[in-house]
Amino acid sequence: MTGPVIIFFVLAALAVLGAVSLILQRHPIHSALSLIVVMVALAGLYLLMGAEFVAAVQIIVYGGAIMVLFVFVIMLLNAGEEERTNFSKLATYAGIPLAVATAGLIAAAIVRSSGGLSTAGPNGALTSTKTLSMLLFLDFVYPFELTSFLILVAILGAIVLAQREN
Amino acid sequence: MSEFLTQYAFLIVPIVKIVILVLIVLTVDAYLTWLERKVIAHIQARWGPYRVGPHGLLQPLADGVKFILKEDPLPANVDKATYFIAPFITLMLALTSLAVIPFGPQHFTIFGYETHVGIADVNISLLVLFAITALGVYGVALAGWASNNKYSLLGGLRSSAQMISYELALTLSVVGVLLIACDFSLRSIIDHQENGNLGLLGWNLFGFSKDGIGFTQIIGFFCFFLAAIAETNRIPFDLPEAESELVAGYHTEYASMKFAMFFIAEYTSMITVSCLATILFFGGWLSPFPASWTFTHYLPSLLLIPFGVWLIFDGIRYETIFGRILLPGVGAVLTLLGVALALFPVVNEAIQGPFWFLGKVFAFLFFYIWMRGTLPRFRYDQLMSFGWKLLLPVAIANVVLTSAYILWRMH
């Protein structure tokens, strides 16, 4: 096992553990913290693939801004520990088989793919900041701007909803 | 043995550098508290620490011993895991952010491993710094939340709201610099400000450059520094700990070493911000004088020798015997150092970069302390409206202005 492979498995394990802990934790703050672990582990995986810019932005936007907002809201509402309710029947009878089937499908796809596990390395297209911005602002400028327009609409909607009470 | 060293130099050299840097930074942190108390005392016409060691110089050591020996009580009903993790997160992130700061221009080779002054030279170092700053808020917010104390919770809440508000202005304020340098690497941002005989006019603050594609970043610096003070929770933006309203805010319930960790983290982030301001707007290790003025290379000696001599003559008249030995001793060392710098051109050349870098960083640290001794605290609503209604629009305006100017010069 070489260095990058070991790091990959450590980060992947961290991400999966964080995701499991996110669901199992009973306190919202602990769940939010687990989600931060997942985000940071994912950033590490991006870095491993040579996508430095995406890795940094992953931490700045998701790990920083968005999760701070989550934590802030949870703290502001002073949300307490959640009561554990019984699982719904649907979740027991449909959810578990579906989860097993999905995991099986993914495993089968990995096994059947040529050469088993292949390595994900820097592939040039999305690695450097310059190529990434070229793609975003030249090749795909209309979809990109349309997305930002969509976000703007969502922000305006949020303001309208917040102002309605006054 | 040497084979082993050559093979693992890529591992050993960074670890050694990290250990050295952490030791230096912790010492500087300790003496920063001494400096802060001294400077504020003198602003308020007091003496400040004076009893422990000559001029209170051993005060940080006494403080350290006190921090270690103090009882560390655990408040009732705290969220234990989070309560213990919070100070570690804060300190870890504060120290990590120093890893990407370059302290000098030199490259050197140890056992065939090429390295430089500073720990890691990443090509996205500025983004790495912002990423670490973005995570830094969790330490404070979680400490406040986990302490099971209303004041602490308020401190944590304020901290997260403040960080969200000021991070935008902080990030936008450096876009101008990035537009000029076209690079995220701090090393190349400094290199880009090197403009030969333009001297300090070539710094991003003034924005003159040989190729003409430069635009003064005074507005950017204004936004950056104000937002950075808010990010480090220092006066006049120290709302999260505001002792007159919130006792001590997020660290009310922390004692002993855990409290010290918050303290060290705060001073370390002060150092990081000062380094960053120096690099982005004040040319990093570049001398403010034109490159042809080689006689300015003797400036370090010119400062060290008189200070050393003064310390010798002032020290021998000190009240205590210990002081009469220590102060002249330090003075003699400084004088000798100054003489050595003047006599050996190789050493003199090597010291230029770090000298200017550390000098500028020290000036910023002094400015921090100066502000603490001068300004009152913002009110909470003022803080919010200042961040959103003034700092953010000004930072955006700076981005628009800089890009418009660069576009105009390029055509």
> Lowest-pLDDT range, A40-54, B135-149, B200-214?
B200-214
What six digits make up the tokens of A98? 């579906």
In this complex, the residue of A33, A56, A76 whose CB is nearest that of residue B124 is A56
**Which residues does B270 contact at the CB level (< 8 Å), separation at least 6?**
B32, B232, B234, B365, B368
User: Which residue in A36, A58, A60, A76 has the most chain B C-beta atoms within 10 A of its own C-beta, making it the best mutation to test that interface?
Assistant: A60
Q: What is the pLDDT of residue A118?
A: 55
Element (H, E) at B278: helix B256-281
Average pLDDT of every residue of chain B: 84
From CA A139, how far away is CA A124, in angstroms rounded? Answer: 16
Per-residue pLDDT band for B408 (boundaries 50, 70, 90) equals confident
Q: What is the pLDDT of residue A105?
A: 92
In this complex, the residue of B82, B127, B167 whose CB is nearest that of residue A56 is B127
For residue B344, is pLDDT > 90?
no
In this complex, the residue of B81, B130, B164 whose CB is nearest that of residue A68 is B164
Residues of chain A with pLDDT under 50: 124
Q: What is the pLDDT of residue B394?
A: 92
What six digits make up the tokens of B342? 């003047």
Q: CB-based burial of residue B222 (10 Å sphere; 0-12 exposed, 13-18 middle, 19+ buried)?
A: middle
**B40-64 mean pLDDT:** 86
Q: Is the pTM of this model over 0.90?
A: no
Most confident range (mean pLDDT) of A12-21, B189-198, B235-244 is A12-21
For residue B115, is pLDDT > 60?
yes
Q: What is the pLDDT of residue A116?
A: 52
In this complex, the residue of B144, B171, B184 whose CB is nearest that of residue A129 is B184
Q: How far is A39 from chain B (nearest CA, A)?
A: 11
Task: Note whether A76 contacts B: Cβ–Cβ < 8 A.
Answer: yes
Q: What is the pLDDT of residue A142?
A: 92
**B302-324 mean pLDDT:** 83
User: Which residue in B78, B100, B123, B138 has the most chain A C-beta atoms within 10 A of its own C-beta, making it the best mutation to test that interface?
Assistant: B138
Interchain pair B122, A52: CB under 8 A: yes
Interchain pair B131, A63: CB under 8 A: yes
Q: What is the pLDDT of residue A55?
A: 86
Q: How many Cβ contacts (< 8 angstroms) between chains A and B? A: 75
Q: How far is B128 from chain A (nearest CA, A)?
A: 6
Interchain pair B127, A57: CB under 8 A: yes
Q: What is the pLDDT of residue A16?
A: 92
Q: What is the pLDDT of residue B112?
A: 67
**B271-279 mean pLDDT:** 90
Helix, strand, or coil (residue B212): coil
> Lowest-pLDDT range, A104-113, B1-10, B24-33, B137-146?
B1-10
User: For the segment B145-191, what is each residue's pLDDT rounded down to a tens digit?
Assistant: 888 888 888 888 888 788 888 888 888 888 888 888 888 888 888 88
Q: What is the pLDDT of residue B119?
A: 80
Nearest CA in chain B to A60: B131
For residue B240, is pLDDT > 90?
no
**Residues of B353-383 as b/e, b for ≥16 C-beta within 10 angstroms?**
bbbbbbbbbbebbeebbeebeeeebbeeeeb
Helix, strand, or coil (residue B296): helix
| Residues in chain B closer than 8 A to A43 (CB atoms) | 131
Q: What is the pLDDT of residue A122?
A: 52
Rounded alpha-carbon distances, angstroms, from residue B52 to A84, B42, B57, B63, B159: 57, 18, 7, 10, 35
Q: Are B208 and B214 in contact (CB under 8 A)?
A: yes
Task: Note whether A52 contacts B: Cβ–Cβ < 8 A.
Answer: yes
